[in-house]
Chain A
Amino acid sequence: MGTRFTQRIADELQGAGLPFLAFAVVLNLALGQITSALKIPFYMDMVGTVLVAVLCGPWSAMIAGVLSNILAAFVGNPTMMFFIPVVLAIALFTAFLARRGWFRRISLVVVGGILQGVVAAVLSAPIAAYLFGGVMFSGTDFLVLYFRSVGNSLLESVFFQGLASDPVDKTVTYVIVFLVIRSLPVRLVSRFNGAANVLPRAPSGPS
């Protein structure tokens, strides 16, 4: 690994970054548990990754995403391993938006969530269609089946299913992360490398 690359990861993992990364990995898995316990119709399996992308940075978020999918395969959903490219794209895209200050205003957060959902649907459709025939052992399989039964091709059906569910799920995820970060004390947020992404910009002094 190049020195600059390793140094960037090292910078992001300073202080609370590394333990928080580990927590975010498990949060991705645990939120699935909470949503199923509360019977809420969302996946919410990217909250931890999005939190890390905003509070730490892109490299940590990519590590969190990859580890989450490996652990998800370990706890019983092996198909998640194949969606690692999608997770990497989500981590990079979220960190890109966060760097540009999109997590400071709720309106931008909503727009970012919708864009993220479309990106996720576009990237995951070929994987789900060509590797798994659109069958992912989840409730959305029936949506794919419905789109196929009305005459769409497999790839189209999987893409339409993604477009129907991903933008909503990712928007909710983004809004949750925004609300959680807003509810945190500034002194806690400021312990992270990406604090500048969410804390209000300091007013520029008189020149």
Chain B
Amino acid sequence: MTIGIPEKLALTLFLVVAAVTLPWNISALLIAALLSARTLIPALRPLDQTARRRFRKIFFVLLCLVAVMTAVNSVFVRSGAVWAEIAGIRLFEGGLLFGLTTGFRLLLIAAAFLVLFGSTSIGAFADYLNHVGIPGPIATTALLSLHFLDHLPERIQQIFIAQESRGAPLRGNLVARIRSFFLLLSPLVLSSIVESIERGTALELRGFHLGISLRTASGPGNRHWSPTTVALLAFSIILVVYRLTLWLIPSP
């Protein structure tokens, strides 16, 4: 069984649908299954050490947030029986269930996206988008965005240092910091507009805008779906139908 980008997208969709439609304990099981699959299946492994570190960091932070939100909700959302009492603080079952449901829902969605993007190179993803018929200019915009995503933090840091060395109060009180926000934003926007014009001119000189048709360069592409993709999409549809049925036909 080969796992390509279509299978990964179908898996992500299935996990997102499952997170929204199924109870928290099944979400927890799916998270455990996804983490195991990430170790066992080569196609789902992180591409490099940076992706691995990013996954660990974000997942750990989200796990802590789930714990905090569950605890806070079980204290403040006072519905259901008292589940426990710690140092005079009562924890309510309703709040606990609410915190666990929303927390694990977000955690599963986050894990699904982290596995998808962590195991797929951006170039391969952009190629796939172009292959399935996403218009060329939109794919180009996505690629340019990824280029800026790499370089913009560095530029922000340079502007930050430059403005600070000119005496801008970047670490003062709130009003001073809001004022300094404009000192950072204006050069950032101005330089980016100038760069956009330069890049736009370069694209025009290469004939990019001539007869711009917003059609993909590689045609409609191969729309054949593997059995894995079909099965995951079918499970997603079944879950949505099941949930809608429960919602529309209330239990007696």
Bound together, the chains give a CA A38 to CA B177 distance in angstroms of 6
Q: Is the CB of B106 within 8 A of A27?
A: no
How many B residues have CB within 8 A of the partner chain? 71
B170 interface hit (Cβ, 8 Å): yes
CB distance from A27 to the nearest CB of B (A): 7
Bound together, the chains give a CA A141 to CA B69 distance in angstroms of 9
How many A residues have CB within 8 A of the partner chain? 59
Q: Is the CB of B78 within 8 A of A149?
A: yes
> For residue A10, which residues in chain B have a CB less than 8 angstroms away from its CB?
137, 209, 212-214
Per-residue CB proximity of B96-129 to A under 8 Å, as 1/0? Answer: 0011011101100110111001000000000000
Bound together, the chains give a CA A131 to CA B106 distance in angstroms of 9
Closest to A22 in B: B144
Per-residue CB proximity of B165-206 to A under 8 Å, as 1/0? Answer: 000001000100110111011101110111111011101100
CB distance from A198 to the nearest CB of B (A): 13
Q: Is the CB of A19 within 8 A of B196?
A: yes
Known interface pairs A40-B174, A145-B77, A149-B78; A22-B147 also in contact (CB < 8 Å) = yes
Closest to A13 in B: B137
- Most-contacted residue by chain B among A76, A131, A146, A148 (CB, 10 A): A76
Q: Is the CB of A71 within 8 A of B214?
A: no
Per-residue CB proximity of A107-138 to B under 8 Å, as 1/0? Answer: 00000000000000000000000011111010
Bound together, the chains give a CA A4 to CA B104 distance in angstroms of 44
B31 interface hit (Cβ, 8 Å): no
Q: Is the CB of B113 within 8 A of A78?
A: yes
B73 interface hit (Cβ, 8 Å): yes
B-side residues, CB < 8 A to A, are 16, 20, 54, 58, 62, 65, 69, 72-73, 76-78, 98-99, 101-103, 105-106, 109-110, 112-114, 117, 135, 137-138, 140-149, 152-153, 156, 160, 170, 174, 177-178, 180-182, 184-186, 188-190, 192-197, 199-201, 203-204, 208-209, 212-214
